[in-house]
Amino acid sequence: MEALFFKDDFSERTLDVPPEHIVQSSSGMGWNGLDIAEVVHPHDDFALPAIPRHVLVINLGPPAKIQEHLVGRQAHLKTGNLVILPAGAPTNWHLEREEEVRHLHLYLSPKLIQRVAASADINPDSVELIDTLGAFDPQIESIALSLLSELRSDGLGESSMWNHWPIYWVSTSSGITLR
């Protein structure tokens, strides 16, 4: 199988949240292709800068109403629901909740998505991530929770799970459109 993950995919390892909101992350762990971070968001409204990577957010906490002000979207985000943020898009958030908001952020390079598409016999130029609020995919939730478990046990990268989940995601088109 052709290598999908290369060291240059994440030469820019900037995360989209301030360090004080990160519970733990895979940054600096010496593995390539995918960064993840467990995040607790502040109680105040907050803005996230545009970064050069796609961000897939899994809600780990209780349900919350979310509003993204720059585009004017809102959704009810249940536990396990997804938010998909394409690379290069800044966001400005308001979260209505009674408890802390805990998310898992998965960071993917656009180059990785293109290589995964090509390996699944999909034209990489036809793949576009759709900015999405509140989607649910039980397979992606399960895979994300497995990645989080590996992160918490310091075993990240020892399993081949993180090597294969992007293939599932692209090949099933969850949150991805083909032009």
Q: CATH number of the domain at 96, please.
A: 2.60.120.10
Task: Please determine, for residue 1, whether its predicted confidence score (pLDDT) is greater than 50.
Answer: no
In a domain, 2, yes or no: no
Report the run of H or E that residue 163 belongs to, with start and end. Answer: helix 161-172
Beta strand 35-41 with 54-59 is unpaired
User: Given the structure tokens 């656009």, which residue do they identify?
Assistant: 110
Confidence of residue 12 (pLDDT cuts 50, 70, 90): very low
Q: How far is 91 from 83, CA to CA, in rounded Å?
A: 12
Domain that holds residue 14: 7-178
Position 101 in a domain: yes
pTM given for the model: 0.80
**How many residues in total does the chain contain?**
179
Number of domains in the chain: 1
d(C-alpha 124, C-alpha 110), whole Å: 10
Q: Where are the alpha helices (DSSP H) in 21-129?
A: 110-119
Residue 142 domain-assigned? yes
What digits encode the pLDDT tens for the residues 90-129?
889 888 877 888 999 999 888 888 888 888 888 988 888 8
Whether 1 is covered by a domain: the verdict is no
Contacts of 164 (CB under 8 A, 6+ apart): none
Residue closest to 104 by CA, chosen among 124, 83, 122: 83
Region for residue 167 given its phi and psi (left: phi exceeds 0; alpha: psi -120 to 50; beta: otherwise): alpha
